[in-house]
Amino acid sequence: MLLALGSNLGDRRRLLASALTRLGCWLDGMVASGLYQTAPRYVEDQPTFLNMAVRGRTALSPFELLAVVQAIETGLGRERSQRYGPRTIDIDIVYYGDAHVQTQALTIPHPLRAERRFVLAPLADLAPDFVDPVTGRTVQAMLQALPEDEDEFVALGPLTTI
8 Å CB contact between 63 and 24: no
Instruction: Count Cα neighbours of 88 within 13 Å in the Cβ-side half-sphere.
Output: 17
Among the listed residues 12, 22, 87, 116, the single catalytic one is: 87
8 Å CB contact between 156 and 13: no
What lies within 8 Å, CB to CB, of 150 at 6+ separation is none
Q: Report which DSSP code applies to 60.
A: S
CA distance readout (Å), 122 to 53, 54, 61, 67, 110: 5, 8, 24, 23, 15
CA distance readout (Å), 45 to 24, 39, 49, 151: 33, 10, 12, 13
Residue 55 bears catalytic tag: no
Question: Is the link from the previous residue into 86 a cis peptide, with omega within 30 of 0?
Answer: no
Among the listed residues 90, 113, 116, 117, the single catalytic one is: 90
Among the listed residues 12, 22, 55, 78, the single catalytic one is: 78
Residue 87 bears catalytic tag: yes
Among the listed residues 12, 22, 92, 117, the single catalytic one is: 92
Which residues are tagged catalytic? 78, 87, 90, 92
